[in-house]
């Protein structure tokens, strides 16, 4: 049987069907129906946040965040080490991404390098909590306050992580999240915005549903709503969040033991309650990574390169500056398979192959 980098958690079928039956009984498929409202309330409570918006995916969540904060042009400082959606959302909103290199311990944006990238054209900072590790939120907020900039955190990997005693998604003017099927908590497709300011939250709520209330057209908007069917999967998965994180912790600890001293690993910050979103490993160079991939692929095991290439090297981002640390890490980092129910024997097999193919 093939082993992929992740396997979506699936709740018991009867629990999902219970919420599907609600849809069939009331005939409401979308437009903020009861499943969406219930899921939003439950996730808001679980995270301990206000102004929670369940939307169609994590990419549109970033676009909504920029729009709701009136970032409709200018420069947005961001990281080159992320999934392409981070940069795409900036470009899609007709802004210019300005890349700041990452720090080498947990691969988040290097806060010490942000201020030198600020110009009169800078409008916002969009860091990423890469792999669920926390950005230096205190330093970033201090810089933003000094220069009157907005902070939007791409928290696609941050669900369930806590920092300094509260959800990692509670920082910044807006934090976004992804509930894509590959994430530890998923709704098949989906995302969220968590908004600090109530007025901005109201604006985002209007923009996510075409910009109108009934016949009163009040603002430019898009359709970023999610459906009752997607929310049904979220409601069925919700009771298992702690179990999912616990299982991923178990598998990660098994990897830790089997791979001790063999590969590089990110370093979690003090005060971070990690969510075990991924299991990234850093090889000595790209040739070592490719050798390990070849050996695993021959066994029908498929890790994945997260994230390659470094986004400052994208051909359609003109004038991007060099980011040597990100470019180096992106060439030799990968995520090993990690999912609920992963057998220890599979983990040990993967670790054995890794150890046989590294220097």
The average pLDDT across 209-225 equals 93
Q: How many CA atoms lie within 13 A of 259 on its CB side?
A: 24
Q: Quote the pLDDT of residue 25.
A: 97
**Domains assigned to the chain:** 13-238 (3.40.640.10), 241-356 (3.90.1150.10)
Q: Are 103 and 128 in contact (CB under 8 A)?
A: no
The whole-number pLDDT of residue 359 equals 80
Mean pLDDT, to the nearest integer, of 317-328?
94
Residue 1 has pLDDT above 90, yes or no: no
User: What would the pLDDT profile of 87-130 be if each residue is shown by its tens digit?
Assistant: 999 999 999 999 999 999 999 999 999 999 999 999 999 999 99
What is the C-alpha to C-alpha distance for residues 26 and 32, in angstroms, rounded to an integer? 13
What are 238-248's pLDDT values in tens digits? Answer: 999 999 999 99
Distance CA 135, CA 113 (A): 13
pLDDT band with cut points at 50, 70 and 90 for residue 84: very high
CB atoms within 10 A of CB 307: 24
Percent of the chain surpassing pLDDT 70: 100
Q: CA 204, CA 207: separation in Å to the nearest integer?
A: 5
Q: Is the pLDDT confidence value at 293 over 90?
A: yes
Phi-psi region of 300 (alpha: psi -120 to 50; beta: other; left: phi over 0): left
Q: How would you classify the pairing of strands 162-163 and 96-99?
A: unpaired
Is residue 319 scored above 90 in pLDDT? no
Tell me which long-range contacts 295-302 makes (C-beta under 8 A, separation of at least 24).
Answer: 295/353, 295/356, 295/357, 296/350, 296/353, 296/354, 299/349, 299/353, 300/1, 300/2, 300/3, 301/2, 301/3, 301/337, 301/349, 301/350, 301/353, 302/2, 302/3, 302/4, 302/5, 302/337
Residue percentage of the chain with pLDDT more than 90? 97
**Over the stretch 63-75, which tens digit does the pLDDT of each residue have?**
999 999 999 899 9
pLDDT for 5-21, tens place per residue? 999 999 999 999 999 99
Q: Which helix (H) or strand (E) holds 46?
A: helix 34-47
The DSSP H or E segment spanning 203 is: helix 198-207
pLDDT of residue 156: 98
Best CA proximity match to 28, nearest among 236, 215, 231: 231
Over residues 127-151, mean pLDDT: 98
Do the beta carbons of residue 204 and residue 195 sit within 8 Å?
Answer: yes
Q: Does the pLDDT at position 355 exceed 90? A: yes
With a cut of 90, say whether residue 136 has pLDDT above it: yes
Q: How many helices (H) and strands (E) does the chain have?
A: 11, 16
- What average pLDDT does the chain have? 97
Model confidence at 209, pLDDT cuts 50, 70, 90, reads very high
C-alpha–C-alpha distance, residues 148 and 145, integer Å = 5
pLDDT, mean of residues 249-260: 97
Amino acid 96: pLDDT: 97
Element (H, E) at 18: helix 13-26
């Amino acid at each position: 049987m093939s082993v992929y980098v992740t396997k979506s958690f699936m709740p018991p079928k009867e629990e999902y069907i219970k919420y599907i039956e609600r849809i069939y009984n009331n005939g409401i498929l979308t437009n903020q129906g009861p499943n969406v409202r219930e899921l939003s309330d439950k996730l808001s409570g679980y995270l301990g946040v206000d102004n929670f918006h369940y939307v169609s995916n994590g990419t549109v969540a970033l676009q909504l965040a920029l729009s709701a904060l009136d970032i409709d042009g200018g420069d947005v400082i961001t990281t080159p080490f992320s999934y392409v959606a981070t940069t795409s959302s900036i470009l899609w909103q007709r802004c210019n991404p300005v890349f700041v290199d990452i720090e080498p311990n947990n691969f988040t944006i290097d806060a010490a390098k942000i201020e030198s990238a600020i110009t009169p054209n800078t409008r916002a900072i969009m860091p990423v909590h890469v792999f669920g590790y926390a950005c230096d939120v205190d330093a970033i907020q201090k810089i933003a306050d000094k220069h009157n900039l907005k902070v939007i955190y791409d928290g696609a990997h941050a669900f369930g992580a806590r920092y300094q005693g509260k959800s990692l998604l509670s920082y910044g003017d807006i934090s976004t999240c992804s509930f894509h099927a590959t994430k530890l908590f998923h709704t098949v497709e989906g995302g969220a915005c968590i908004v600090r300011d109530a007025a901005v939250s109201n604006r985002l709520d209007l923009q996510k549903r075409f910009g109108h209330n009934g016949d009163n057209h009040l603002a430019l908007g898009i359709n970023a709503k999610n459906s009752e069917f997607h929310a049904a999967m979220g409601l069925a998965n919700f009771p298992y969040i702690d179990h999912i994180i616990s299982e991923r912790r178990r598998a990660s600890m098994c990897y830790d033991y089997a791979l001790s001293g063999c590969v590089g690993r990110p370093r979690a910050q003090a005060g971070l309650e990690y969510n075990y979103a991924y299991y990234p490993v850093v090889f000595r160079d790209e040739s070592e990574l490719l050798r390990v991939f070849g050996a695993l692929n021959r066994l029908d095991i498929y890790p994945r390169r997260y994230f390659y290439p470094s986004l400052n090297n994208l051909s359609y981002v003109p004038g991007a500056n060099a980011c040597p640390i990100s470019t180096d890490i992106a060439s030799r980092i990968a995520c090993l398979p990690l999912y609920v129910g992963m057998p220890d024997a599979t983990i040990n097999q993967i670790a054995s192959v890794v150890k046989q193919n590294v220097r």
